[in-house]
Structure 1
Amino acid sequence: MTSRLNTFDQPVGEPLPDWTPRPAPARADLDGAYCRLEPLDAGRHADDLFAAYATETDGRNWTYLPDEPFDTADGYRRWAESAARSADPLHYAVIDRRTDRAVGTMALMRHDPANGVVEVGYVVFSPLLQRTPVSTEAQYLLMAYAFDGLGYRRYEWKCDALNAPSRKAAERLGFTFEGVFRQAVVYKGRNRDTAWYSIVDGEWPLLRKAFRVWLAPENFLDDGRQRRSLGGILGG
């Protein structure tokens, strides 16, 4: 972190004379090569999403989420109707372009346009989406929207500190670990220590380039396996 000295010889942050508040995230489609993000709409997406989540063999993917797996399509539809009305979190459905069906959701949340900060969260990816180019591109599309579309300075990822898969995903996607907030949340009747990660705007150009290289069709074999990992590309 760089600083300057003020007239009292105290260190202060770098000035941002041209900074102005940024727009809040909007309900807009975000298009990619493998997927499309659409603002969640229960009428269009709920049936596909319930069917996608029903392909799970157990409920382990819901352990660290505020909700439990949904037993019925009507129950999920009611949740989706409520979530679709929310402006913050702003939920998006992830549409697989191969099938034109919704296979997961994610959200931009804790919007702070005055400071240019937003968090990606409530990521619920079905088995149809996990460990595919679709899942990585969906993350990239939201990042690009925050940094390139809205001009934000900071993009956050937070999770239960015990959620090893989420922490591994954050690191793979280029987030920097910042620390653990102890006893930050109570959910499902238990404590959550929250691990914090972030990407800042100065890091984004290199990350953007790495994502584009990784997502290029030539990076994948005929069976869908990657030739180069995202981490390998970032590491040069």
Structure 2
Amino acid sequence: MSRLNEFGQPIGDALPDGWTPPPLPSRMTLAGRVVKIVPMDAEAHGAALYEAFKLDETDAGWTYMANGPYSCLADFMTWLKTAAVATDPMLFSFLNAQSGQPVGYGALMRIDARMACIEVGNLRMSPLQQRTPMSTEAIHLLADYAFKLGYRRFEWKCDSLNAPSRTAAERLGFTYEGTFRNAMHYKGRSRDTAWFSITEDEWPAIREAQQAWLAPDNFDQNGIQKQRLAELIQQARG
């Protein structure tokens, strides 16, 4: 039930006493069981990332990215060297925690510390990371980092026609909030943007479910999941 002000109008919940905006994110390192997140280093990671993305022989993975595809390493490096030093989006490399091999990248972006909102985006995961626990753990680590800093809202946005991205957001526990029509344009075409979010009050249950899914005992000897993440999130939410 909404609170009412002195005029009888409904108003939102009060912020906790002493609440202050969270700090800006830093170029930190986050270590998980299967993936490690490190600040993007174009020279150290660029060539390996380019080779990992080439495993997608059709280049379909670049369709919904604002950049790419790239016909040669030099072109990719030109983009990456600029992207790696930006502060928003703040780009990170995803490494296989066991081998140290770069397998993808993503960013914290549209950072609004004053309103305590932050977005995960610019996600480009190679076939080495796609459909593996590394992809789930990468988002889990970034979300947990943001909420521990004090952010109240963790966003995911994508082209409304990008079905795999929409499915991934919902699987991870993000809530669909609506579509902004003609929100932007890229690569000579218009984009309607689908918005998803996790809020701070939802995160504890989602965090618990993601951790349960990522646990080694949730996978059999062949690496096949025993329980689906969507089921675990539903259970955690009660």
| TM more than 0.5 | yes
- Is 2:184 aligned against 1:203? no
Deviations 1:88-124 (A, max 9, x none): 0001100001221111000000001111100000000
Inter-partner Cα distance in structure 2 for 1:198 and 1:13: 18
Alignment-derived partner of residue 20 in structure 1: 20
Alignment-derived partner of residue 178 in structure 2: 179
TM superposition score normalised by structure 2? 0.96
Query: SS where residue 84 of structure 2 aligns?
Result: helix
Inter-partner Cα distance in structure 2 for 1:213 and 1:168: 20
1:6 alignment partner AA: N
Alignment-derived partner of residue 95 in structure 1: 95
Query: SS where residue 225 of structure 2 aligns?
Result: coil
Alignment-derived partner of residue 5 in structure 2: 6
Offset of residue 18 of structure 1 = 2.6
Inter-partner Cα distance in structure 2 for 1:5 and 1:218: 48
Offset of residue 232 of structure 1 = 1.3
2:180 alignment partner AA: F
Matches within 5 A, 1:1-236: 2-16=1-15, 17-148=17-148, 150-236=149-235
Inter-partner Cα distance in structure 1 for 2:184 and 2:76: 25
Deviations 1:209-231 (A, max 9, x none): 11111111111112211111101
User: Does the 8 A contact of 2:21 with 2:150 survive in 1?
Assistant: no
Inter-partner Cα distance in structure 2 for 1:235 and 1:154: 20
Q: Unaligned 5+ residue runs, structure 2?
A: none
Deviations 1:35-79 (A, max 9, x none): 100010111110110110011111111111111211111111121
User: Does the 8 A contact of 2:31 with 2:97 survive in 1?
Assistant: no
Q: Identity percentage over the alignment?
A: 48
**Once superposed, which parts of structure 1, at least 4 consecutive aligned residues long, lie more than 3 Å away?**
none
Q: Unaligned 5+ residue runs, structure 1?
A: none
TM superposition score normalised by structure 1? 0.97
Query: SS where residue 64 of structure 1 aligns?
Result: coil
Offset of residue 183 of structure 1 = 0.9
